[in-house]
Amino acid sequence: MSLTTLSSMSITIKLIESPDEWQEAEAKLAPHTFLQSWEWSLAQQALGQKIFRLGIVKDDRLIGLAFIYLIKARRGSFLFCPHGPLINWEEAEEIMPILLKYLIALGRQERADFIRFSPLAPNRPAMKNIFASLGFRPAPVHLMHPELAWLLDLRPTPEELLSGLEKRTRYSIRKAQKDGVTIRTGNAAAALAEFYKLYKETAERQKFVPFTKDYLKKELAAFVKNDKIMLYFAYYQAEPIATAMIIFSHDSAFYHHGASSRKFTKVAASELIQWTAIGQAKSRGLKFYNFWGIAPETAPNHPWTGLTRFKKGFGGFSEEYLHAQDYALTKKYWLNYLIEKLRKIKRRY
């Protein structure tokens, strides 16, 4: 079997090399993610990952996309599809067996130990059954990318969006403005350096492992060419005290990273950053502001609990996606399974 294309009945899997072809199809599918964008694939490629951009064709029409990259680790290498594939999930029963067949062959060629999907499929029994029938099992890891997201519809009027804010969020925004907080934006190297100072400080304070500066630099470089990324800074008394990285992809803006200083804890700078970014996303004609991941209500000890309250303060709605799914290719998968399972138990969420 050639890994350039794979055909079965009316479905064909092919490699896509044209950014225009990819982006045209992605625009029609309008996913609530940027992890299947051409730019994200460029960022992963720049980071040294081996990437594969797959098109799903039916009756000579490109009906789906799947960006895949190979993650190499001592405990087991795997093919990963972040927030994909991009398909009409009503057609999953027809599409997924063909896509899986292609990836099994690709995985063996690349000596991968398993295949992992972190799909945007709705979290409902029918979707679980489709993956289970193909031999997938729920991944032991809690998540690699958000499985519960918080979104704000930007199509209402500015006045309606303002009235949709929770009282405390509206108060915080007005207080920050009264206190003299100003918002600046940038997407050059100097802006990233300023962002990283606050980001690293936040990581040390909240005890999470930050992305490296090189990782964020390559992410910025991939999206900045078409004005699809912006760094926001809240300044108070001439110094930055909060920041956020926002990615613009098709009809949505995504709050991807955030950080803040503890120097002026009573100044509500982060709320003003988000409200400014929401306004600019709306001025771009976008339909949604995606706050990215939130904690489930069933996990009161989740480390995102406070951040979730912050995000929900702007109004909006949640979307719940199917938990990450694994397909084992070698026995080494079970070593990875055990390590990730123990890690999840240790985290207690």
Tell me whether strands 137-138 and 114-118 are parallel, antiparallel or unpaired.
unpaired
Residue 327, pLDDT above cutoff 80? yes
Strand partners, 114: 78, 328
Residue 137, pLDDT above cutoff 80? yes
Where exactly are the structural domains of the chain?
A: 5-144+322-347, 149-320
Cα–Cα distance between 295 and 293 in angstroms, integer?
7
Name the fold adopted by 149-320. Aminopeptidase (3.40.630)
Q: Percent of the chain beyond pLDDT 90? A: 83
Tell me whether strands 61-71 and 50-58 are parallel, antiparallel or unpaired.
antiparallel
Reported as a pLDDT band with limits 50, 70 and 90, residue 9 is: low
- Contact predicate 115/326, CB 8 Å: yes
Measure the CA angle with vertex 254, ends 103 and 176; round to 5°: 160
**Mean pLDDT along residues 315-339:** 94
Name the fold adopted by 5-144+322-347. Aminopeptidase (3.40.630)
**Mean pLDDT along residues 167-178:** 96
Residue 6, pLDDT above cutoff 80? no
**Mean pLDDT along residues 192-220:** 94
Burial annotation 70-100 (CB, 10 A radius, 16+ → b, else e): beeeeebbbbbbbbbbbbebeebeebbebbb
pLDDT tens for 252-291 read: 999 999 999 988 988 999 999 999 999 999 999 999 999 9
Closest CA to 117 of 349, 338, 336, 322: 322
Q: Percent of the chain beyond pLDDT 70? A: 95
pLDDT tens for 217-233 read: 999 999 999 999 999 99
Domain pair 5-144+322-347 / 149-320, same fold? yes
pLDDT tens for 20-61 read: 999 999 999 999 999 999 999 999 999 999 999 999 999 999
Cα–Cα distance between 32 and 290 in angstroms, integer?
8
